Amino acid sequence: MAKELSLYVHIPFCVRKCLYCDFLSFYADKSLQAQYFEALAKEIRLSAKGLKDRRVISIFFGGGTPSFPKSKDVCGLLNTITDSFNVDPGAEISIEVNPASAMKDKLADFKRAGFNRLSIGAQSLDDRELKILGRAHDSAMFYHTFESARQVGFGNINVDIMSALPGQSLDSYLDTVQRVIELKPEHISAYSLILEEGTPFYEMELDLPDEELDRRMYHETGRMLTGAGYHRYEISNYSRDGYECRHNKVYWRRGDYLGLGLGAASLLDETRWSNTRDMKVYMDCLWKDVPDEDFPGSEGIDRNTDQSRILPGLCDIRQDIEELDIKSRMEEFMFLGLRLTQGVSRQLFSLNFGRNMEEVYGDVIRKYTGLGLLEWVSCPEDTDEESSSAKDLQDTAHDGEYLRLTERGLDVSNTVMADFLLD
Ligand code: SF4
């Protein structure tokens, strides 16, 4: 069976910048957008040359706002991917959309092109809160997008919502949660607002909910969504059975993924890197006039070189390349895996690293199990019906035990997970 791979495609364009946003996103005119799509298509074709032996099980178009550019350009990129890579017929193919730009005809184009999962950035259904966030849409646009998505045939929809917003009361937040539940999306992501340095919000005097209210919002989210038939499978993610996001689980389980486009991050065969965040560097490297066959390294991959998966011609855009040592891999295994409510498998840890989990992390595990923040459980239920290589590997470990955060542990997850960093 071919080794699995996931693809992330970054579309950095937005109609305008939200006040809390620190994603790599900006406004660009049609001409820059067109050049970017051409360069990105070239990066896709060239990257695929060295990965013909991989089976692509998920693709995620994120941003930015992938629904902002012309749908023809975005769908063209998906075609380039399916022409260049070995995409599994059952692959999960997601696209993020913003209600301000996700018109019904665009959604229909996305569906026809092969996208089978939609992620709608609602954030709130309170127009006053949306205005404070600097979002380009209002709640009526969100409803319209959701209904249009169903009408054009999307049967797998995620809705993003945010809590701990400036001026947000518990009631107004829970009203958003309730109204989203009534729409019956297959998946809901519920994150707390985080003030990021460099954003306008970071500099502003904001009336933010205190820690206690933030925690209440988190707990009420869990209570309401669980009561409505969703299960939490990750700290901030809930789904109906069979609709866990396969792509995001690849990140948390450290499966292989390739990031394509400006600033996109990759993990492949235990090497991490990020594409440049500089548009000029990105465009200069993928210059338009050079045919693919003349591109440096286009004859394929020399698997004997240090950077065996890096095409020489793409080295200029691929930065911060780091071959992970066993220590970093163990740390990532723990703090990414603990995000999942399933937890981390003791047996899989041994299989991966040739060492017992307690031998490496005995003290920290004893400390937090003693405090009731971590617990050992047997064969936690995994409701995701679809498989991935990482999951298959997890499943082979079902007779082992899993270490996971308790309900109380979820409240202080950052503190607990930070303790899994090795000296
Ligand atoms: S739509 Fe998303 S990516 Fe774009 S500016 Fe707003 S938060 Fe950032």
Is the per-residue pLDDT at 396 higher than 80?
no
Edge-to-edge order in the sheet of strand 54-63? 231-234, 237-239, 187-192, 157-163, 117-123, 86-97, 54-63, 3-11, 257-260, 265-268, 271-275, 318-323
Average pLDDT for the chain: 91
At residue 37, φ and ψ (nearest 5 deg) are -65, -35
Is the per-residue pLDDT at 389 higher than 60?
no
Contact 177, 229 (CB under 8 A): no
Cis bond upstream, residue 64 (ω within 30): yes
Pairing of strands 231-234, 157-163: unpaired
- Answer yes or no: is the C-beta of 55 below 6 A from any ligand 1 atom: no
Q: What's the mean pLDDT in 15-32?
A: 94
Look-up: residue for tokens 């809930």?
Answer: 238
- Cα-atom radius of gyration of the chain, to the nearest Å? 22
* pLDDT tens, residue by residue, 131-173: 999 999 999 999 999 999 999 999 999 999 999 999 999 999 9
What is the best residue among 18, 124, 130 to mutate for testing ligand 1's pocket, by most ligand atoms within 8 Å of CB? 18
- Answer yes or no: is the C-beta of 18 below 6 A from any ligand 1 atom: yes
Contact 164, 190 (CB under 8 A): no
d(CA 53, CA 57): 13
d(CA 258, CA 268): 7
Q: What is the pLDDT of residue 293?
A: 74
d(CA 154, CA 93): 11
d(CA 143, CA 163): 19
What is the maximal distance between C-alpha atoms in the chain? 63
Q: What is the pLDDT of residue 292?
A: 77
Question: pLDDT category, 387, cuts 50, 70, 90?
Answer: very low
| Ligand 1 mean position, distance from CA 146 (Å) | 18
- Answer yes or no: is the C-beta of 25 below 6 A from any ligand 1 atom: yes
d(CA 143, CA 263): 31
Q: What is the pLDDT of residue 295?
A: 67
Q: What is the pLDDT of residue 50?
A: 84
Residue 400 is encoded by which pair of tokens? 């082992």
Q: Which residues, other chains included, contact 227 with Cβ-Cβ below 8 Å and sequence gap of 6+?
A: none
Is the per-residue pLDDT at 246 higher than 90?
yes
CA 226 to chain centre: 22
| Ligand 1 mean position, distance from CA 191 (Å) | 14
Read off the pTM.
0.92
Domains and their CATH numbers in the chain:
3-252 (3.20.20.70), 343-418 (no CATH)
301 or 73: which carries more pLDDT confidence? 73
Is the per-residue pLDDT at 290 higher than 80?
no
Contact 373, 408 (CB under 8 A): yes
Q: What's the mean pLDDT in 302-315?
A: 54
Per-residue DSSP letter, 377: E
Give the E-state strand segments of 327-373 in sequence order.
Answer: 344-345
| Ligand 1 mean position, distance from CA 104 (Å) | 20
C-alpha to C-alpha distances, 43 to 94, 335, 414, nearest whole angstrom:
20, 31, 35
Question: pLDDT category, 388, cuts 50, 70, 90?
Answer: very low
- Answer yes or no: is the C-beta of 17 below 6 A from any ligand 1 atom: yes
Question: pLDDT category, 400, cuts 50, 70, 90?
Answer: low
Is the per-residue pLDDT at 306 higher than 60?
no
Out of 53-67, 302-316, 367-381, least confident range = 302-316
Is the per-residue pLDDT at 313 higher than 70?
no
Out of 113-117, 198-202, 244-248, least confident range = 198-202
Pairing of strands 257-260, 237-239: unpaired
Q: What is the pLDDT of residue 390?
A: 44
| Ligand 1 mean position, distance from CA 49 (Å) | 32
Q: What is the pLDDT of residue 285?
A: 86
Contact 16, 25 (CB under 8 A): no
* pLDDT tens, residue by residue, 253-275: 999 999 999 999 999 999 999 99
380 or 212: which carries more pLDDT confidence? 212
d(CA 28, CA 40): 15
